Structure 1
Amino acid sequence: FTRPVAVILSAILHHVNDDEDPAGIVRYWRDHVPSGSYFFISHFRSGNNPETAEAEMVLQQTFGRGRWRTDAEIASLLDGLEILDPGIVPASLWRPDESDNPWNSGERRELTVWEHLIAAGLARKA
């Protein structure tokens, strides 16, 4: 690892319980890649409402393990990295300039329950 790389943690860390140290997984790679490397994360996120709580319950029963985290908890997994704009947001809102984004063109629609459940973010090692 002499040149910057991309570390992709897509749909991984939400399967790692707190006692298994998901932040340690990120920290390991952060400490072993050179400056200028990027980290992409997607993660199940807590929606803090009855609809997403129900979806979380269904998925938890299906997978049998894992941890849904708040945006702040997801961001804390990227400790020591610079989280780039637009930050930790629902994955469908991550690139607001895309034509299929529900917030684009002034036509806003409500995100679905499932869209609220998946967050994404990009960070860079300084």
Structure 2
Amino acid sequence: NDEEDPAGIVRHWRDHVPTGSHFFVSHFRSGGNPETEEAERVLQRTFGRGRWRTDEEIASLLDGLEVLDPGIVPAPLWRPDTAPSPWSAGGAERELGVWEHLIAAGLARKA
């Protein structure tokens, strides 16, 4: 929720950790299409709170930090080349389902 000032929380820690520190974020992600909007409504009713953000809004929470590759992406796609992944079959990428698009992940570093 914005009332909890997530950007302010990240800023606080950014200002109090040493250079080279890493910040990992996972966040509910807005898909901007009818399928993900319906999934967002279902989850909002289930949890009763929370805020979905676009990739750009999630990245803005990491203001002042260097967002590392591959950036803010659907969680199943974050560094899929580091280990065998259920997201590919025989080296061929498969399409992510609606629910798999709803959580984004990213890593940033304090320079």
TM-score (norm 1): 0.82
How far apart are 1:103 and its partner, in Å? Answer: 5.2
Does 2:74 align with 1:90?
A: yes
How far apart are 1:104 and its partner, in Å? Answer: 7.3
After superposition, the C-alpha distances for 1:50-70 in whole angstroms (9 at most, x for unaligned) are 111111001101111110000
In 2, the alpha carbon distance for the partners of 1:24 and 1:96 equals 30
Does 2:37 align with 1:30?
A: no
Quote the RMSD (CA, aligned, Å).
1.4
Q: Which residue number corresponds to residue 54 of structure 1?
A: 38
How far apart are 1:113 and its partner, in Å? Answer: 1.0
5 Å matches for 1:1-126? 17-97=1-81, 98-100=83-85, 102=87, 106-126=91-111
- Which has the higher relative contact order, 1 or 2, with Cα contacts under 8 A spaced 6 or more apart? 2
Moved over 4 A (4+): 103-106
How far apart are 1:114 and its partner, in Å? Answer: 1.2
How far apart are 1:95 and its partner, in Å? Answer: 1.0
After superposition, the C-alpha distances for 1:17-39 in whole angstroms (9 at most, x for unaligned) are 22332100100111111101000
How far apart are 1:96 and its partner, in Å? Answer: 2.9
> Unaligned regions of 5+ residues in structure 1, if any?
1-16
SS in 2 for 1:48: coil
SS in 2 for 1:119: strand
Amino acid at match of 1:19: E
